Amino acid sequence: MSEPIIHVENVHKYFGRVHALRGINMDVHVGEVVVVLGPSGSGKSTLLRCINHLEVYNSGIIVVDGILLKTAKNINIVRREVGMVFQSFNLFAHLTALENLTLAQVKVRKRSKKEAKKVAFELLAKVGITDKADCYPAQLSGGQQQRVAIARALAMNPKIMLFDEPTSALDPEMIKEVLDVMLALAKEGMTMLVVSHEMGFARATASRCIFMDEGQIVEEGPPDKLFSSPTQERTKLFLSKVLQL
Amino acid sequence: MPSRDFFRNLGKTFSRKPPDLTEPIPTPKLGFIPGAEPTSRLDPWWWLVVGVILLVILLMVFQPDPYWNIFLFVRDGLVITVELTVISFVFILLLGLIGGLGRIAKNPVIHIIATLYVEIIRGIPLLVQLIWWYFAAPAVIQSFGEWVHWEALATYRSNPIVLAVVGLVVCYGAYMAEICRAGIESIHKGQMEAARSLGMSYMQSMVSIILPQAIRVVLPPVGNEFIMLLKDTSLVSVVAVADLTRRGREFMAAHFNPIEVWTLIALLYLILTLVSARVIAWLERRRKY
């Protein structure tokens, strides 16, 4: 197998006295869709945020796209290759949907305004909200905002997409429209690392599922195997509660 | 005594809701319905400004002696007051922004310098600071010049207006720094994270994402500072700056008519502050998104 695009080795992270990540080892290869499951406070989001250095890890090694994060001179070079989608959307509130997509293209990718707009409209069409291009985030529904946020990340042509509970702040009707976009993305072969509780999504797209608890990876494997015959007691307990829903 | 609700409803009558762009704009109804959207674009509080200006004009026209004479005498002071306010405010905004960024800086040295500046300056009365800059600062500069044998500093001659601007800027900059800090901190941290996750640098994110949103938050307190500064410039009258207040005192010393002089001076200040308040309100309305 080829060199992993994300390589995580024995990573520890502390928040004050709280030991949030306790020796995480994980690889993600190009084209893989990895879904990270686990209860609240298990460190899934922290792991994701460490991978694009929004959180600084205390020890261990994280290599993203061949660059070691600890010694990276310019973290922005790593970040432009790693798209991130947040639970709370985080669209720029003072910019329209279109401007949300073009700003970083112009500032970071140094594209011309015209080129950036062209890319933006293509992506807005892809996520199905071309008609809302001139709306401000406050005028969009949660699902629409999250789709714009996905398009905004894609506009940078990232090699990897990180999703931090992208559907947790949405009501059930809107979850589907966001998951559909993510499904399409996975089918195109995008490398994705997804923190989510969407079991259906995991089953349909994940090449691998990782179950985390208390800052450690408890178990990992293909979704079918992990969901139907988990080996660890902790995984069984978690899945029995989640799959009941 | 009217009830609190009376005032609240009065406010509602005049306040303008931010336009809801998702809805088609309704066609304005004919006739005035109390509580309905005002049909004119003019901020009704402008009438207060017009009223005060009218009063001053009437005083000058029908009582030219002393009001018109006072006005002719103090008008250069009026210009100084406006200039002092506007020039100082530009530097205050600049210093406040730098101070505010310093207060949230992760670098401990910058953070400590900014915090010390804010804490020390806020703890000393403006009048004392102005007097210090006027009387003590030149002496400090001169003795420093003598010590290092630098002719230009040893024979330093102070300019009262420059020192007054310095005094106002240093003092108000500290308050402005706290306003800027609060404004920046009021923006959800997800905005910064989203900008950084797209590969934008800290400064790019600050300039393109955080500050434009913070401006909307800080506009009311910044406007408040502007009006306070306008009034506090009257303190420079004690440090040899011929502003509106000092010119009024000079006129009174010559003509012994305190009632007319100070009534007119008060009304002139009032016109300046009322106009400022309307401009600020207009800016605030423009900033809705």
Measured between beta carbons, the chain A residues lying within 8 angstroms of B208 are 103, 107
Which residues on chain A are in Cβ contact (under 8 Å) with B193?
54, 84, 86, 90
* pLDDT band per the 50, 70, 90 thresholds, residue A216: very high
Nearest-CA distance from B216 to chain A in Å? 10
Least confident among A38-52, A59-73, A136-150, B267-281:
A59-73
Structure confidence at residue B150 (pLDDT): 86
| Secondary structure (DSSP) of chain A | -PPPSEEEEEEEEEETTEEEEEEEEEEE-TT-EEEEE--TTSSHHHHHHHHTTSS--SEEEEEETTEETTT-S-HHHHHTTEEEE-TT----TTS-HHHHHHHHHHHTS---HHHHHHHHHHHHHHTT-GGGTT--GGGS-HHHHHHHHHHHHHTT--SEEEEESTTTTS-HHHHHHHHHHHHHHHHTT-EEEEE---HHHHHHH-SEEEEEETTEEEEEE-HHHHHHS--SHHHHHHHHHHHT-
Handedness of CA A181, A172, A140, A163 (dihedral sign): negative
Alpha-carbon B167 to chain mean position: 15
Which carries the bigger pLDDT value, residue B22 or residue A129? A129
Angle between helices A142-154 and B189-197 (to 10 degrees): 30
Q: Mind telling me how many Å the CA of B285 is from chain A's nearest CA? A: 14
Nearest to A156 among B190, B198, B289 (CB): B198
Phi, psi of B178 (to 5 degrees): -70, -35
Question: pTM (2 decimals)?
Answer: 0.81
User: How far B25 CA lies from chain A's nearest CA (Å)?
Assistant: 15
- 3-state class (DSSP) for residue B184: helix
B195 and chain A in contact, CB less than 8 A: yes
The reply to whether B216 touches chain A by the CB within 8 Å rule is yes
Which of B188, B193, B200 is nearest residue A107 as measured by Cβ atoms? Answer: B200
Interchain proximity B216–A54, CB inside 8 Å = no
Nearest CA in chain B to A88: B190
Q: Which residue of A has its CA nearest to B188?
A: A90
Test mutation, A79, A107, A160, chain B, max B CBs within 10 A = A107
Nearest-angstrom CA–CA distance, B50 and B47: 5
Chain A residues with CB-CB distance to B106 below 8 A: none
Percent of chain A's residues with pLDDT above 70: 98
B193:A139 CB<8 A: no
Show pLDDT as tens, one digit a residue, over chain B (289 residues): 555 565 555 555 444 555 555 555 554 444 444 444 444 467 788 899 999 999 999 999 999 888 999 999 999 999 999 999 999 999 999 999 999 999 999 999 999 999 999 999 999 999 999 999 999 999 998 889 888 888 888 888 888 999 999 999 999 999 999 999 999 999 999 999 999 999 999 999 999 999 999 999 999 999 999 999 999 999 999 998 999 999 999 999 999 999 999 999 999 999 999 999 999 998 888 866 5
B13 in A contact zone (CB under 8 Å): no
* Rounded Cα distance, B16 and B46, in Å: 14
- 8 A C-beta contact, residue A166 and residue A146: yes
Tokens of B140: 């400090």
List A18's β-bridge partners, or say none: A15
Q: What chain A residue is nearest to B201 in terms of C-alpha separation?
A: A76
**Mutate: best of B186, B197, B286, partner A, most A CBs <10 A:** B197
Centroid of chain to Cα B50: 21
ipTM of this model? 0.91
Nearest chain A Cα distance for residue B33, angstroms: 29
A148 contact partners, CB below 8 Å, separation of at least 6? A89, A91, A97, A100, A101, A124, A127, A129, A132, A137, A140
**In chain B, which residues have their Cβ closer than 8 Å to the Cβ of A76?**
196, 199-201
Question: What is the overall mean pLDDT for chain A?
Answer: 91
Query: In the A/B pair of chains, how many CB contacts fall below 8 A?
Result: 70
Q: What is the pLDDT of residues A40-55, one digit of tens each?
A: 889 999 999 999 899 9
Does the pLDDT at position A66 exceed 90?
A: no
Task: Indicate the residue of B197, B204, B209 with minimum beta-carbon distance to A84.
Answer: B197
C-alpha span between A123 and A181 (Å, rounded): 11
Q: How many Å apart are CA A69 and CA A201, to the nearest integer? A: 30
> How far A203 CA lies from chain B's nearest CA (Å)?
28
Residues of chain B contacting residue A80, judged by C-beta atoms under 8 Å apart:
198-199
Inter-chain contact B209–A152, Cβ cutoff 8 Å?
no
Substitution target from B184, B198, B205 for chain A, most A beta carbons within 10 A = B198
Interface of A with B (CB under 8 A): 52, 54, 76-77, 79-80, 82-84, 86, 88, 90-94, 103-104, 107-108, 135-136, 138-139, 149, 152-153, 156
B253 has a chain A CB within 8 A of its CB: no
Distance (Å) from the alpha carbon of B2 to chain A's nearest alpha carbon:
38
What gap in Å lies between CA A164 and CA A167, rounded to an integer? 9
The token pair that represents A66 in the structure block: 């061949």
Residue B201 contacts A, CB cutoff 8 Å: yes
Contact between residue B233 and residue B243 where contact means Cβ atoms under 8 Å apart: yes
Contact B200 A82 (CB under 8 A): no
Cα separation, A15 vs A18, whole angstroms: 5
